[in-house]
Chains A and B, each alone.
Chain A
Amino acid sequence: MPPLPGTSLPPRRRVDILNDGGYRSDGRRQYELRDITIDMTPQGSADGCASIAHGLTQVSVSVFGPREAKQRSQTLHDRAVLNVEVNVLPFSTGERRRRGRADRRILELAASIKATFEPVVQTTLYPRAQIDIFVSVQQQDGGLLPACINGTTLALAAAGVPLLDFVCAVSAGVHGAAALLDLSALEEGDLPHAAVAVLPRTKRVTLAALETRLHVDRFAEVFRLACDAGQTIHAEMRRAVRTRTQELVAAMGAGPRAGPGEHVDRDVAMDDDAAADY
Chain B
Amino acid sequence: MVEITIRKRPRTEAVVTQRKFFKKTARGKVIKVLRERYLRDDVTCGIEGCRVCSESSDATLPSSGSLDHSSYPDGHFVLPDTNVFLAQMDLMESPLFSPPIILLQTVMEEVRHRSLPLYNRLKALVKADDKQIWVFYNEYRSETAVIREEGETPNDRNDRGIRKATSWYNSHISITRPPVKGQPNRPLPTVVLLTDDVANRQKAEKEGIACISVRKYVEASKDSGKLSDLLSAPGSDNIEPTRAAGARQVLYPDYLPMSTLIAGVKAGQLHQGHFNANQYNYLEGNVPVSAFEKPILLIGRENMNRAVQGDVVVVEVFDPKEWKAPADEVVDQETTLKNDDADDSEEEVEDEEGITERKVMQSEASIRSLSAKQPTGRIVGIIKRNWRSYVCHIESTSLMSSNPTSLSQQTVFATPVSRLLPRIRMRTRQAPTLLGQKILVTIDRWDATSRYPDGHFVRALGRAESKEAEQESLLLEYDVPYRPFGKAILDCLPSEGDAWVVPPKADAVPEWKDREDLRGLIICSIDPPGCQDIDDALHARPLPNGNIEAGVHIADVSHFVHPDTPMDNEAAARGSTVYLVDKRIDMLPSLLGTNLCSLRPHVERLAFSVIWELTPEADIVNVRFTKSVIASKSAFTYDEAQVRKDDPNLNDDLTKSIRLLNSLAQKLKAGRMAAGALNLASPEVKIHLDSAESSDPIDVEQKVLKETNSLVEEFMLLANISVAQKIQETFPQTAVLRRHLPPPPTNFEKLKDILQKRKGMTLDVSSSGALAASLDQCVDLEEPAFNTLVRIMTTRCMLSAEYFCSGSVARDTFGHYGLASPIYTHFTSPIRRYADVLAHRQLAAAINFSPLHATLHSKSHIERVLEIVNRRHRMAQMAGRASVEFYVGLALKSRSEKETVIEDAFVIRTFRNGLGVFVSKLGIEGLVMFKREIQFDADNYTISVPSASGAESTTIAVFDKVRVQIEVEKDKNTQRGKVKMTLVSPIDSRAL
Known: A229-B4, A232-B6. A23 touches B34 (CB 8 A): no
Q: Does the CB pair A14–B407 fall under 8 Å?
A: no
> For A20, what are the chain B residues with a Cβ–Cβ distance below 8 Å?
123, 126, 135
Q: How far is the CA of A184 from the CA of B126 in the complex (A)?
A: 28
B40 → chain A closest CB, angstroms: 6
Q: Does A17 contact B (CB under 8 A)?
A: yes
Q: Which of A189-203 contact B (CB under 8 A)?
A: 189-192
The 8 Å CB contact of A232, one of B5, B34, B105, B408, is: B5
Interface string of A153-197 (1 = CB under 8 A from B): 000000000000000000000111000010011000111100000
Known: A16-B401, A21-B137. A225 touches B37 (CB 8 A): no
Q: Does A11 contact B (CB under 8 A)?
A: yes
Which residue among B8, B39, B343 has the maximum number of chain A CB atoms within 10 Å of its CB? B8
Looking across the interface, which residue of chain B has its beta carbon closest to that of A214?
B405
Q: Does B705 contact A (CB under 8 A)?
A: no
Q: Does the CB pair A23–B113 fall under 8 Å?
A: no
Q: How far is the CA of A36 from the CA of B406 in the complex (A)?
A: 27
Q: How far is the CA of A189 from the CA of B406 in the complex (A)?
A: 10
Q: Does the CB pair A12–B30 fall under 8 Å?
A: no
B397 → chain A closest CB, angstroms: 14
Q: Which of B1-30 contact A (CB under 8 A)?
A: 1-9, 11, 18, 25, 29-30
Interface string of B30-61 (1 = CB under 8 A from A): 11111111111000000000000000000000
Q: Which of B158-204 contact A (CB under 8 A)?
A: none
Q: Does the CB pair B408–A11 fall under 8 Å?
A: yes
Q: How far is the CA of A93 from the CA of B33 in the complex (A)?
A: 9
Q: Which of B394-436 contact A (CB under 8 A)?
A: 400-401, 403-411
Known: A26-B37, A34-B36. A228 touches B7 (CB 8 A): no
> For B39, what are the chain A residues with a Cβ–Cβ distance below 8 Å?
27
Q: Does B81 contact A (CB under 8 A)?
A: no
Q: Does the CB pair A31–B6 fall under 8 Å?
A: no
Q: Does B605 contact A (CB under 8 A)?
A: no
Q: Does the CB pair B36–A33 fall under 8 Å?
A: no
Q: Does the CB pair A31–B3 fall under 8 Å?
A: yes
B186 → chain A closest CB, angstroms: 29
> For A16, what are the chain B residues with a Cβ–Cβ distance below 8 Å?
401
B223 → chain A closest CB, angstroms: 29
Q: How far is the CA of A150 from the CA of B597 in the complex (A)?
A: 76
Interface string of A199-240 (1 = CB under 8 A from B): 000000000000010000000000001001101110010000
Looking across the interface, which residue of chain A has its beta carbon closest to that of B407?
A190
Looking across the interface, which residue of chain A has its beta carbon closest to that of B6?
A33
Known: A33-B5, A228-B2. A14 touches B32 (CB 8 A): no
B29 → chain A closest CB, angstroms: 6
> For A225, what are the chain B residues with a Cβ–Cβ distance below 8 Å?
2, 4
Q: Does the CB pair A27–B4 fall under 8 Å?
A: no
A63 → chain B closest CB, angstroms: 25
B34 → chain A closest CB, angstroms: 5
Q: Does the CB pair A34–B7 fall under 8 Å?
A: yes
Q: Does the CB pair B36–A94 fall under 8 Å?
A: no
Q: How far is the CA of A190 from the CA of B34 in the complex (A)?
A: 16
Q: How far is the CA of A185 from the CA of B36 in the complex (A)?
A: 11
> For B35, what are the chain A residues with a Cβ–Cβ distance below 8 Å?
26
Q: Does the CB pair B140–A27 fall under 8 Å?
A: yes
Q: How far is the CA of A40 from the CA of B409 in the complex (A)?
A: 40
Q: How far is the CA of A29 from the CA of B461 in the complex (A)?
A: 39
> For A93, what are the chain B residues with a Cβ–Cβ distance below 8 Å?
32
> For B93, what are the chain A residues with a Cβ–Cβ distance below 8 Å?
none
The 8 Å CB contact of A176, one of B9, B40, B126, B403, is: B403
Q: Does the CB pair B6–A34 fall under 8 Å?
A: yes
Q: Does the CB pair B400–A190 fall under 8 Å?
A: no
Q: Does A28 contact B (CB under 8 A)?
A: yes
Looking across the interface, which residue of chain B has its beta carbon closest to that of A224?
B1
Q: Does the CB pair B38–A94 fall under 8 Å?
A: no
Known: A13-B400, A56-B18, A94-B32. A28 touches B405 (CB 8 A): no
> For B7, what are the chain A residues with a Cβ–Cβ distance below 8 Å?
28, 32-35
Q: Does B841 contact A (CB under 8 A)?
A: no
Q: How far is the CA of A28 from the CA of B6 in the complex (A)?
A: 10
The 8 Å CB contact of A31, one of B2, B25, B343, is: B2
Q: Does the CB pair A189–B408 fall under 8 Å?
A: yes
Tally B residues with Cβ within 8 Å of A.
47
> For B116, what are the chain A residues with a Cβ–Cβ distance below 8 Å?
14
Q: How far is the CA of A95 from the CA of B34 in the complex (A)?
A: 12
A270 → chain B closest CB, angstroms: 15
Q: Does B533 contact A (CB under 8 A)?
A: no
B333 → chain A closest CB, angstroms: 24
Q: Does B139 contact A (CB under 8 A)?
A: yes
A224 → chain B closest CB, angstroms: 9
Q: Does A85 contact B (CB under 8 A)?
A: no
Q: How far is the CA of A231 from the CA of B404 in the complex (A)?
A: 31
> For A99, what are the chain B residues with a Cβ–Cβ distance below 8 Å?
none
Q: How far is the CA of A28 from the CA of B39 in the complex (A)?
A: 8
Q: Which of A10-58 contact B (CB under 8 A)?
A: 10-14, 16-17, 19-21, 23, 26-28, 31-37, 55-56
Looking across the interface, which residue of chain A has its beta carbon closest to that of B410?
A13
Q: How far is the CA of A9 from the CA of B32 in the complex (A)?
A: 8
Q: Does B306 contact A (CB under 8 A)?
A: no
Q: How far is the CA of A23 from the CA of B1 in the complex (A)?
A: 20
Q: Does the CB pair B31–A10 fall under 8 Å?
A: yes
Q: How far is the CA of A70 from the CA of B403 in the complex (A)?
A: 53
Interface string of A81-94 (1 = CB under 8 A from B): 00000000001011
Q: Does the CB pair B404–A176 fall under 8 Å?
A: yes
Q: Does the CB pair B33–A9 fall under 8 Å?
A: yes
Known: A10-B25, A21-B137, A185-B34. A35 touches B6 (CB 8 A): yes
The 8 Å CB contact of A35, one of B9, B32, B408, B410, is: B9
Q: Does the CB pair A228–B4 fall under 8 Å?
A: yes
Interface string of B824-839 (1 = CB under 8 A from A): 0000000000000000
> For A62, what are the chain B residues with a Cβ–Cβ distance below 8 Å?
none
> For A132, what are the chain B residues with a Cβ–Cβ distance below 8 Å?
none
Q: Does A139 contact B (CB under 8 A)?
A: yes
Q: Does A96 contact B (CB under 8 A)?
A: yes
Q: Does the CB pair B405–A176 fall under 8 Å?
A: yes
Q: Does B393 contact A (CB under 8 A)?
A: no
B537 → chain A closest CB, angstroms: 59
The 8 Å CB contact of B6, one of A36, A96, A191, is: A36
Q: Does B553 contact A (CB under 8 A)?
A: no
Q: Does B976 contact A (CB under 8 A)?
A: no
Q: How far is the CA of A108 from the CA of B171 in the complex (A)?
A: 55
B19 → chain A closest CB, angstroms: 10
Q: Does the CB pair A236–B6 fall under 8 Å?
A: yes
Q: Does the CB pair B405–A192 fall under 8 Å?
A: yes
Q: Does the CB pair B31–A94 fall under 8 Å?
A: yes
Which residue among A11, A21, A231 has the maximum number of chain B CB atoms within 10 Å of its CB? A21
B47 → chain A closest CB, angstroms: 15
The 8 Å CB contact of B8, one of A35, A94, A191, is: A35
Q: How far is the CA of A245 from the CA of B720 in the complex (A)?
A: 103
A276 → chain B closest CB, angstroms: 14
Q: Does B271 contact A (CB under 8 A)?
A: no
Q: How far is the CA of A236 from the CA of B405 in the complex (A)?
A: 32
Q: How far is the CA of A27 from the CA of B35 in the complex (A)?
A: 11
B227 → chain A closest CB, angstroms: 27
Which residue among A33, A37, A94 has the maximum number of chain B CB atoms within 10 Å of its CB? A94
Looking across the interface, which residue of chain B has its beta carbon closest to that of A174?
B405
Looking across the interface, which residue of chain A has its beta carbon closest to that of B142?
A27
Q: Does B451 contact A (CB under 8 A)?
A: no
Q: How far is the CA of A21 from the CA of B40 in the complex (A)?
A: 14
Q: Which of B756-791 contact A (CB under 8 A)?
A: none
24 pairs, CB–CB < 8 Å, chain A vs chain B: A9-B31, A14-B343, A16-B401, A19-B137, A20-B126, A26-B37, A27-B40, A31-B4, A32-B6, A32-B38, A33-B5, A35-B8, A35-B9, A56-B18, A56-B36, A91-B32, A94-B31, A139-B34, A141-B34, A189-B408, A190-B406, A232-B5, A232-B6, A233-B6
Could you list 9 further interchain pairs (A-B, Cβ under 8 angstroms) beyond the known A13-B343, A31-B2? A21-B135, A31-B3, A91-B32, A95-B32, A174-B405, A190-B406, A225-B4, A232-B4, A232-B5
